Amino acid sequence: MTIRSAIRSRSVGARPAGFSLIELMIVVAVIGILAAIAYPNYQEYVVKTNRTAAKSFLMEVAQRQQQYLLDAREYAADLTTLGMTVPADVSRYYTVSITGVAAGDSPPDFVAQAVPIAGSTQANDGNLTVDETGAKTGKW
């Protein structure tokens, strides 16, 4: 078999194998466009998920405060008194505290708040609060 016959046999019935550079560049461009769209949506999803965990915990704190009020005729001044600890999925992004509790307040009151930790994904999300009446502030 000569070189000339080898070239002819390839060009007549053989199909080239592999991808061309243009095809690969198109695939890379499509992946880049999809990533540019998906990543911001993913970040927004993470922020909403963390916010939902904090809101859920604040509602649990408010519920425990109401139970504590029925038993002790006052609101608890901290989470420890309520027998609660901040879950890990909340404490990574928020500092949770109870404020506004003063001895002898009539009627008694409290504000449970979750403040985003600086430098976390929630840093620009704003504070979440709930008070003794169930009134909420922040991104509920």
Q: Which domains does the chain have, with CATH numbers?
A: 22-137 (3.30.540)
Confidence of residue 19 (pLDDT cuts 50, 70, 90): confident
Residue 83: CB partners within 8 Å, gap ≥ 6?
64
Q: Over the stretch 65-96, which tens digit does the pLDDT of each residue have?
A: 999 999 998 899 999 999 999 999 999 999 99
What is the model's pLDDT at position 124?
Answer: 92
Half-sphere exposure of 27 (CA within 13 A, CB side): 6
Q: Exposed, middle or buried: residue 79 (CB in 10 Å: 0-12, 13-18, 19+)?
A: middle
The mean pLDDT of 124-128, rounded to a whole number, is 93
| 0.85 exceeded by pTM | no
